[in-house]
Structure 1
Amino acid sequence: MQLFSWLSQKVVQLSAITLISIGLTLTGYGIYIVSLILFKNYDGYFKFDSDFGMFGQKYGALVIGVSLIIFGIFGILGSTAKKVCFQRGFLILHHLSVLLFGILFVVLFYLLNFKSKEYFGRSCESTQNFKELSDGVKSANESFCSVKCPCNLDATKFKDKSVLRGKVGFSSSVLPSNVQSCVGFDTEQYKYPVQLMNILEMNFSCSGWCTSTSIFVFSDINRGNTSGQSCFLKFQKYYEDYVTIMGFISLGLGILFMLSFSFIFYLYCGKHDLEKQRAQELRLLCK
């Protein structure tokens, strides 16, 4: 009985420390994103119509990170508190959080290890969204830095200047630095490709979707040379190298949180019963 009580306490504490660790990571990332937005005019995110969507992208990681730290602290306090009222109060809040994140990480395991294969295990035009993305990228490549849409092109920003052959443009702030600013390009029709490719180019330095392009089309062209890899191939490689491992890590975290969820019930009731049993034994010894 005492062993099970000790084990329950340690599992809950481990889940609490894990929540705090994830929370610290997300908080650090959130601070990084906020600093980019405030000080470097970072633009690598989706432009949602709702204020909530924009707030979530900008400050979501920070808010979730701080919340996880708080819930993790509740778990540690609840598993170590001496007074029953404090113990149960803290554990209830931690209990809800481990249930939520236990389910979340198990679902994430399924999405990463099974569902994502439907997308990145096939061709770059295997789904409707991918086809739309590919069409949008092709249209953008035809328009940008062409006679239709001369671009703000600063050749000094490129180490390999051979990629600029056939490109129409010169260094002038009057000219567009990305395809979104081209008058002839339909940004409404290709709203999804424009936003996604802007994010991919900004964060992964890839270009193009099915095949790589010689310049950045959806972000600032004067960022210089691209990585030479298409964004679809970049994601395929990322999937092969990291996503499967991340999926199993998610499964492990899901199991840990669900175990913690189960053991918390014992800390609610079993620990109290153990204390009552000890009190009865002590009374018997005193008689």
Structure 2
Amino acid sequence: MIKFVKKVVGFGAFLIILIGLTLLGFGFYALYKQVGLNYEDLYFNTASWLKTLLEYGLIILGALILITGIAGAKGSSQKKTSCRGCLLLTYQLGAILFFVLCTGLAIGTLIYSSDLFGEECTNKDYFELVDSQIQQAELYFCSSYCQCYITEETLNRNQTAFDGKNYTTDKNVEKKIEKIQECPDYEVNAYSAAVSILGTAEQLLHCAGWCHPSAYYIFSDINDDSFNGESCFTETKNFVESTGRILGYVLLGLGIYFGINVLFVLLICCHSEKKNKTDYLLYET
């Protein structure tokens, strides 16, 4: 029985080691590669703290988690009682922390993921800001201020959307402007809220516009034909709700698993204590 318990604890420690290595790897990748994000576009110039938090926070957290996992792996297989007790205590504290964190996040995710966006697009000030910026961007993009480049295929596919717009289909044009960020007088601060959401949503969820669907992509490639006709509010809301449920159940499972690990570590410690007492009595006899 105790061998099985040790294997379960060892496997839990292995999971924690993997999580720690993943966070460390991503932290170093963010530090040296900056994960491909343009922080000026996303969060203005005043958000350097966010970049620092992403880089060094992940590295520190990953290192602590890795140490906890190694302590559990070594402690579950360590034969020397004094070393095993110290290592298992370290792992026990880590397992308790993971149990509380995972179950807390699971409950919060399962309860609040469906309420995060609400039912109406305009029920939050930030969403209204995003929508107003998108409307401004629609008026600016493919206008006299910023001529956009579209392919013949894009024009034929959605000709009515470009009626009255300033565009070119000339393949030899000096600068092919296919998203608003490429416009000559584009201002980061004017569309920062919209860019932070729509730039990613258009590519990942194939939507356009926020409260109401736009006719084409504005913050990513206008010639991309993957647009599904839905607004990004609807698609993002559905994505967050479905992903939140999946993530919630995964976190709940991990929380239960680490809770069991806490009990199993106690069993190992109690078994060791009982064995030491038995050995002592045999020696005295």
TM-score class, shorter-chain normalisation, is 0.7 to 0.9
8 Å contact from structure 2 (residues 43, 192) kept in 1: no
Q: Distance in 1 between matches of 2:121 and 2:135?
A: 13
Counterpart among 151, 162, 172 of residue 158 in structure 2: 162
Aligned length in residues? 277
Q: Distance in 1 between matches of 2:220 and 2:37?
A: 9
- Cα deviations by residue, 1:54-113 (Å, 9 ceiling, x for unpaired): 255568768766764553333211111112343234334433432333222223223321
What's the offset of the Cα at 1:246? 1.9
The aligned counterpart of 1:195 is 196
Q: Distance in 2 between matches of 1:89 and 1:17?
A: 18
RMSD over equivalenced CA pairs, Å: 3.8
8 Å contact from structure 2 (residues 198, 219) kept in 1: yes
Q: Distance in 2 between matches of 1:158 and 1:225?
A: 11
Which runs of structure 2 are paired with 1:64-213 in the superposition (5 Å)?
A: 68-151=65-148, 153-155=149-151, 158=154, 161-162=157-158, 165-166=162-163, 167-170=165-168, 172=173, 174=175, 176-182=177-183, 187-213=188-214
Identical pairs, percent = 26
Question: Tell me, which stretches of 5 or more residues in structure 2 are unaligned?
Answer: none
What's the offset of the Cα at 1:250? 1.0
What's the offset of the Cα at 1:137? 1.7
SS of aligned partner of 1:260: helix
C-alpha distance 245-265 of structure 1, shift in aligned 2 (>3 A): same
C-alpha distance 18-173 of structure 1, shift in aligned 2 (>3 A): farther
What's the offset of the Cα at 1:130? 1.8
Q: For structure 1, which segment, 238-247 or 61-70, has the greater mean C-alpha deviation from structure 2 after superposition?
A: 61-70
Q: Distance in 2 between matches of 1:43 and 1:219?
A: 14
Q: TM-score, normalised by structure 2?
A: 0.75
Which runs of at least 4 in structure 1 moved beyond 6 Å after TM superposition?
58-63
C-alpha distance 66-233 of structure 1, shift in aligned 2 (>3 A): farther
Letter of the 2:283 partner, please give it: R
Q: Distance in 1 between matches of 2:156 and 2:75?
A: 60
The aligned counterpart of 1:272 is 272
Q: For structure 1, which segment, 255-264 or 100-109, has the greater mean C-alpha deviation from structure 2 after superposition?
A: 255-264
SS of aligned partner of 1:117: coil
8 Å contact from structure 2 (residues 155, 162) kept in 1: no
- Cα deviations by residue, 1:130-159 (Å, 9 ceiling, x for unpaired): 2222222222222211233322x1416749
Q: Distance in 2 between matches of 1:220 and 1:88?
A: 58
Letter of the 1:88 partner, please give it: G
C-alpha distance 159-174 of structure 1, shift in aligned 2 (>3 A): closer
- Cα deviations by residue, 1:202-252 (Å, 9 ceiling, x for unpaired): 433332212332322123435554343322222233245432132122112
C-alpha distance 137-94 of structure 1, shift in aligned 2 (>3 A): farther
C-alpha distance 13-173 of structure 1, shift in aligned 2 (>3 A): farther
C-alpha distance 71-226 of structure 1, shift in aligned 2 (>3 A): farther
Q: Distance in 2 between matches of 1:160 and 1:15?
A: 57
Which runs of structure 2 are paired with 1:24-43 in the superposition (5 Å)?
A: 30=26, 42-43=36-37
